[in-house]
Structure 1
Amino acid sequence: MSAGAETALIAGTGGLPALLAAAAPGMLLCELDGFPSAVPGAEPLRFRIERLVPFLDALVARGVSRVCFAGAIRRPKIEPEMFDAQTALLVPRLVGAMQAGDDATLRAVIELFEDWGLVAVGADEIAPDLVPGAGVLTGTVTATDEADAKRAAAIVAALGSVDVGQGAVVARGLCLAVESLPGTDAMLDFVAAHRALHPAPAGGLFFKAPKPGQDRRIDLPAIGPQTVAKAAAAGLSGIAFEAGGVLLLDRAATIAAAVTAGIFLWGRAG
């Protein structure tokens, strides 16, 4: 099924929304107020959480049948006086989900859209080429790297089971850092700063994967050229990621950056 006017792109910040818009022209661009996307050449339909029901009604009225969530969005500040009567009825449902964590919040959002007959599709369905399969894209993966990736995958699975993060840095079996709310860049910056001040094993890798049981239609983890730059600055030997589970933003530029930095990119199976 090709994306087009029947698909609404619920866009956040970062580079992913623009890549999807280019891959599937004609999607209706939508933005949460206060979180402008970087999609060029389109006037977005803006909405607020406090008026979510009118926004959902507007999508249906425009003939939208599918929605794709892409890009980063922080939890917005809620203005209670702005709620319309219908959206106000959804507040207990949304608040309960938010208190249960990010994954529960995202599932609740998808369920709300589905209540209006809108089918949520993943970014990988809109642009499947953004999700690499198994194999080494560039560089050389050693036996030590394989062991570190196995250890990192176990750590990320444990983190994800309690809805904490999607990444970890491991060097010769030692966990140097894990991803939490500040995100990937902050974690890699921490590793770089830590290594400048304290002895640590050389090399190592950054591993990225979805959380166990994660709904992959939303918040699929991603890496791009900036991830490569941060990993190189942290002195890592490479980046490993779950094959088929991570978006590779700007594939050509990311691979070129890894070649220049002398680090590997590896889609790890299993």
Structure 2
Amino acid sequence: MAGRLAIVAGSGGLPLRLHEAHPDAYCVTLAGTPHELPEGVVHTHRPERLGELFEDLRDHDVTDVVMAGAMARPKLEPSALDAVTAKVAPALMAAMQQGDDGLLRHVIALFEDRGFTVVGAHELVVGLTVPAGMLCGIAPDSAATLDVEFGLDILSALSPLDLGQATVVAGGLCLGIETLQGTDALLEQAAGTPTHKRPEAPGVLVKLPKRGQDLRVDMPAIGPATIEGARRAGLGGIVIAADRVLVLEREATLAAAREAGLFVQALDV
């Protein structure tokens, strides 16, 4: 990095992990966004005042920006717009009608057009992603492998629509796909599948980026909550894309998977 790093923080544990690895980073968030960073560390900006945000970053010698954690799509109050936000608002509002990847590409461009370099969390913290291989458990059997292959086909077909990054498949049947509600909601949906409609096969969660997705923001992730959701859903395992999915709290995540009897596998896909 040429200069100072800024962490644009959303919810979840990733912003805290980045702050611990880069304690000198300047931390900002948008008003109304929950975060887990220590009190007094984060500087809050209204989404209607992007000009003030960019100026604040420049005043603190920021050259590189990492966006980490979940953020809701903000509702802009027209009367509060500063000059910069008013100028970009029409295109920004149009981008908000797109999928997550389309919106995030637009947000990246807002920062890059003003001279900031956007970097990915995986570029700043070693070990957030994993190479191909079995991370824990026994390799999936032939039935589970077929479910994985079907899951990969589903996500490949959905990728151009810019929907979610995950699906649950059991016994050759799709129990759900990830949408705006996220992976935890997908697993809850799978857990609620009526017994008479549920195949006997345990099933798998398959999670990977969309084709062409900019991995600097919104890289897919799993963590302890994913394991718990998969356990409640009665799944046999989780398959992720090698080097392209974050494994948050890796030791705790894999320990929970072992305790739940789940396999976790990373594939070159």
Q: Corresponding residue for 2:126?
A: 128
Q: Corresponding residue for 1:158?
A: 157
Task: Provide, for residues 128-164 of structure 1, a one-character-per-residue CA deviation record: whole Å limited to 9, x for no partner.
Answer: 3011110111001222222221211111122221011
Task: Provide, for residues 69-122 of structure 1, a one-character-per-residue CA deviation record: whole Å limited to 9, x for no partner.
Answer: 000001122111111123201111211222233212111110010111100000
Q: Following the alignment from structure 1 to structure 2, what is the Cα–Cα distance between the partners of residues 237 and 86?
A: 50
Q: Corresponding residue for 1:99?
A: 97
Q: Report the TM-score when normalising by structure 1.
A: 0.95
Task: Note the C-alpha offset of 1:29.
Answer: 0.9
Deviates more, 1:201-210 or 1:98-107: 98-107
Q: Following the alignment from structure 1 to structure 2, what is the Cα–Cα distance between the partners of residues 61 and 199?
A: 57
* 8 Å CA contact retained: 2:73, 2:96: no
5 Å-filtered alignment, 1:69-108, equals: 69-108=67-106
Task: Note the C-alpha offset of 1:40.
Answer: 2.4
Task: Note the C-alpha offset of 1:9.
Answer: 0.3
Q: Report the TM-score when normalising by structure 2.
A: 0.95
Deviates more, 1:126-135 or 1:92-101: 92-101
3-state SS in 2 of match to 1:219 = coil
Q: Percent of counterpart pairs with the same letter?
A: 44
Q: How many residues align?
A: 268
Structure 1, unaligned runs of 5 or more: none
3-state SS in 2 of match to 1:50 = coil
Deviates more, 1:171-180 or 1:161-170: 171-180
Q: Corresponding residue for 2:241?
A: 242
Task: Note the C-alpha offset of 1:196.
Answer: 4.1
- Is the aligned partner of 1:177 residue 2:203? no
Q: Following the alignment from structure 1 to structure 2, what is the Cα–Cα distance between the partners of residues 33 and 41?
A: 14
Task: Provide, for residues 208-263 of structure 1, a one-character-per-residue CA deviation record: whole Å limited to 9, x for no partner.
Answer: 00111111100001100110011011110001001111000100000000010000
- 4+ residue segments displaced more than 4 Å: none
Structure 2, unaligned runs of 5 or more: none
* 8 Å CA contact retained: 1:205, 1:237: yes
Q: Following the alignment from structure 2 to structure 1, what is the Cα–Cα distance between the partners of residues 241 and 178?
A: 16
Give the root-mean-square deviation of aligned CA atoms: 1.5
Q: Following the alignment from structure 1 to structure 2, what is the Cα–Cα distance between the partners of residues 168 and 119?
A: 32
Task: Note the C-alpha offset of 1:195.
Answer: 4.1
* 8 Å CA contact retained: 1:202, 1:235: no
